Amino acid sequence: MANQSTETGRLAPPRSNETGSSGEPGKNLPRHIAIIMDGNGRWAASRGLPRTAGHKAGAETFRRIATYCKNIGVKYLTVYAFSTENWKRSETEVSAIMALLKKYLLEAVDTMERDHIRLHFFGDMTPIAPELRALARETDEITEHLSKDDFQANVCLNYGGRDEILRAARRFAADCAAGERRVEELDEALFSEYLDSAGIPDPELIIRPSGEQRLSNFLLWQCAYSEFYYTDTFWPDFDEAELDRAIAAYQSRDRRFGGVKK
């Protein structure tokens, strides 16, 4: 299959999810890519700018990479925007990140139907400001009207992998207490339906820029068989070429899932 040209002008792998031999460009494209958007603060510091400028640049990178993922045929992009631990940052920084999310959502409610971009949130929205929460609800409603075949971006907000598992366990326990579920029927597939990622396949590829090589409480349940790609590039400098490299690295790997090559 020939490569496709994208609106960014780059040559991208074709829209294909077929499993091909490892290392062939365009074959075996990950259906779901997850990214820890790290390095915004250091990117800003290296330019003598405030940390908030790094987040602003990081939000632009998210837009570009989401568009690129959509254009090359990746079905899901999940990004870590704000963790359950990020509340410990200064009020100025927390407010700046929330303001960027609000700006993005305000634009998204007007454009997601036109652009066929579904938008979903992972995380506990309870402590999020009412206005932002209402916008997230609105984008969820629009998402419901869009086709399941459309590209979907998942934004992790007030998210922690352990917290997600705890919230799922509580919900399952509550359903048992209400007589709607029985403990004996719980298996991995059923438990997955209680997670924020219900109905979404696990990410095949998890990317962390900025030189850090940790998972930092990201998608702990879903990463069981994910491939990891690390790069020293700070998130604001992460571009389409870097994503191509991450996908090529993924495609060159032999995924065995505990013994059998799938």
Q: Which residues are catalytic?
A: 38, 86
Applying CB under 6 A, the residues found at the interface with ligand FPP are: 37-42, 55, 58-59, 62, 79, 81, 86, 97, 100-101, 104, 155, 210
Instruction: Give the 3-state DSSP-derived string for 59-83, with helices as H, strands as E and coil as C.
Output: HHHHHHHHHHHHHHCCCEEEEEEEE
Angle CA 65–168–257, to nearest 5: 60
Indicate the residue whose CB is closest to ligand FPP.
Answer: 41
Concatenated DSSP letters for the chain?
A: ---EE-TTS-EE--S------TT-TTSS--SEEEEE---HHHHHHTTT--HHHHHHHHHHHHHHHHHHHHHHT--EEEEEEEETTGGGS-HHHHHHHHHHHHHHHHHHHHHHHHHTEEEEEES--TTS-HHHHHHHHHHHHHHHHS-TTSEEEEEEEEE-HHHHHHHHHHHHHHHHHTTS--GGG--HHHHHTTSTTTTSPPPSEEEE-TT----TTSSTTTTTT-EEEE-SS-GGG--HHHHHHHHHHHHTS---TTT---
Q: Is the CB of 37 or the CB of 168 nearer to ligand FPP?
A: 37
| Sequence-separated (6 or more) residues with CB below 8 Å from residue 252 | 22, 23
24 or 60: CB nearest ligand FPP:
60
* Residue placing its CB nearer to ligand FPP in the complex, 69 or 101: 101
